[in-house]
């Protein structure tokens, strides 16, 4: 199992910077509505000392570009120079047919000091009935947020999912997990999304948790290739956006199984420590070491992995990776699938170093999990607990 292969993909998958961001920084507005009483405004502000170029693209719910009428003219995309310290507004009025989808903006480099926000509203008979403010959103593999449904109080929660094709050209199962106030998983849904697709749903309706009664707690969303999400709360007739964390609810997925010790040697696919499925493993990384674990997975299985260093004495900065295939096979060689370095939630848990990874397995096959130190260091204090769940 070659570590170099994993590290090539790891840079793009775990740093939160997709491949295209070598040239651009891409941000997303996960929900866009205009026409039939709906209007939208986008505000782009340049915090730099130099002028910046901004590219803005409009997509429908199927990921196709769509033309909109704005104060900058009609078109599917717009390019403009943003002066140092300046702000550019894109106005889209409420006339015409209903259009919905999402908006992607690209900035010159990943570190471009541009911020953007959106306000969309619904007006009827001269009265604004809905107004929602949304900040630009970065590429993300994990999101979590508070959620509530209360029928008597008429409180509901909806999720808007957007999967720009620039994140990935492949379809992907998004994993949505419902977690109660005690941190216990109540239900899990997998949502197949095509590249470019936009889906909006209340949490108690299909394709999410149809029939869900009154509920308070949180929802965790996982995507290997990255998505953008917007959470909307309806309180009677008022709507508003809910703050969203770019990181997982790690604690809800921790294992309660008895721990087993890793068995050396296990530093490649040929010597990988075989595990029967869901397992809690304790181990240690020496300098330049890599620990490998093997299991048999089935298409549709939900795999969750936590590299836990916060509950043990550890200096380890863990990286976890997933491979699939048959060692030595020409037709089905062992190949990298995905991985994770940091869990993504800043600042509170980011510095703990715990890595978190979750995906739907694509095929019936042999799978390998590897764990190693990001700096390839190791020693007596480089300990870990590896939580593996397959369901």
| CB-count exposure of residue 260 (10 Å: 0-12, 13-18, 19+) | middle
Q: Is the pLDDT of residue 383 over 80?
A: yes
Distances (CA, A) of 200 to 31, 105, 166, 191, 193: 9, 21, 20, 12, 12
**pLDDT per position as a tens digit, 349-378:** 445 567 899 999 999 999 999 999 999 999
Fold (CATH) for 19-135: Hypothetical Protein Tm1070; Chain: A (2.60.290)
Query: 344 falls in which pLDDT band (50, 70, 90)?
Result: low
Q: Is the pLDDT of residue 112 over 50?
A: yes
Contact between residue 122 and residue 37 where contact means Cβ atoms under 8 Å apart: yes
CATH no., domain 141-253: 2.60.290
**pLDDT per position as a tens digit, 212-249:** 999 999 999 999 999 999 999 999 988 899 989 888 99
Q: Which residues contact 321 (CB under 8 A, 6 or more apart)?
A: 6, 10, 336, 338, 339, 369, 370, 371
- In the three-class reduction of DSSP (H, G, I as helix; E, B as strand; rest coil), residue 128 is classed as strand
pLDDT of residue 23: 66
Query: 90 falls in which pLDDT band (50, 70, 90)?
Result: very high
**pLDDT per position as a tens digit, 100-110:** 999 999 998 88
pLDDT of residue 212: 97
**pLDDT per position as a tens digit, 280-290:** 999 999 999 99
Q: What is the mean predicted confidence (pLDDT) over 83-88? A: 97
Query: 322 falls in which pLDDT band (50, 70, 90)?
Result: very high
Task: Give the class (CATH, top level) of 259-390.
Answer: mainly beta
pLDDT of residue 354: 78
pLDDT of residue 85: 97
Q: Do domains 19-135 and 259-390 have the same CATH topology?
A: no
**pLDDT per position as a tens digit, 118-174:** 999 999 988 988 899 999 998 889 999 999 999 999 999 999 999 999 888 999 999
- In the three-class reduction of DSSP (H, G, I as helix; E, B as strand; rest coil), residue 194 is classed as coil
Indicate the domain borders of the chain.
19-135, 141-253, 259-390
**pLDDT per position as a tens digit, 18-50:** 343 346 889 999 999 999 999 999 999 999 999
- Which residue shows structure tokens 């390998």? 368
Q: Which two tokens stand for residue 50?
A: 């130099």
């Amino acid at each position: 199992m070659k570590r170099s292969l994993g590290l090539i993909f790891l840079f793009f998958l775990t740093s939160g910077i997709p491949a295209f961001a070598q040239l651009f920084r891409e941000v997303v507005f996960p929900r866009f509505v205009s026409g039939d009483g709906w209007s939208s405004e986008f505000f782009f502000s340049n915090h730099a000392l130099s002028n910046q170029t901004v590219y803005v693209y409009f997509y429908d719910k199927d990921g196709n570009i769509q033309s909109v009428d704005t104060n900058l003219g009609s078109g599917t995309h717009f390019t403009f120079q943003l002066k140092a310290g300046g702000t550019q507004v894109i106005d889209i009025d409420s006339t015409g047919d209903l259009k919905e989808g999402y908006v992607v903006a690209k900035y010159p480099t990943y570190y471009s000091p541009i911020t953007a926000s959106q306000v969309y509203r619904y007006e009827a008979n001269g009265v604004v009935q809905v107004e929602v403010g949304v900040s630009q959103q970065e590429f993300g593999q994990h999101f979590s947020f508070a959620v509530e449904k209360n029928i008597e109080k008429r409180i509901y929660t909806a999720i808007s999912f957007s999967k720009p094709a620039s994140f990935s050209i492949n379809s992907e199962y998004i994993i949505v997990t419902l977690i109660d106030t005690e941190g216990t998983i109540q239900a899990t849904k997998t949502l197949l999304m095509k590249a470019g697709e936009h889906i909006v749903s209340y949490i108690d309706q299909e394709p999410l948790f149809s029939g869900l009664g009154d509920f308070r707690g949180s929802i965790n969303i996982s995507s290997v290739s990255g998505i953008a999400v917007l959470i909307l709360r309806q309180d009677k007739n008022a709507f508003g956006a809910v703050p969203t964390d770019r990181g997982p609810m790690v604690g809800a997925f921790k294992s309660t199984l008895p721990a087993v010790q890793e068995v050396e040697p296990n530093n490649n696919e040929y010597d990988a420590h075989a595990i029967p499925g869901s397992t809690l493993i304790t181990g240690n990384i020496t300098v330049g070491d890599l620990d490998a674990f093997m299991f048999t997975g089935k298409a549709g299985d939900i795999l969750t992995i936590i590299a836990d260093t916060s509950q043990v004495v550890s200096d380890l900065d863990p990286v976890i990776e997933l491979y699939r295939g048959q060692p030595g096979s020409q037709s089905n060689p062992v190949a990298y699938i995905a991985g994770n370095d940091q869990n993504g939630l800043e600042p509170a848990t980011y510095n703990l170093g715990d890595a978190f990874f979750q995906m739907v397995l694509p095929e019936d096959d042999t799978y390998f999990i590897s764990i190693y130190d990001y700096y390839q260091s190791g020693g007596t204090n480089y300990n870990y607990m590896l939580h593996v769940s397959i369901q």
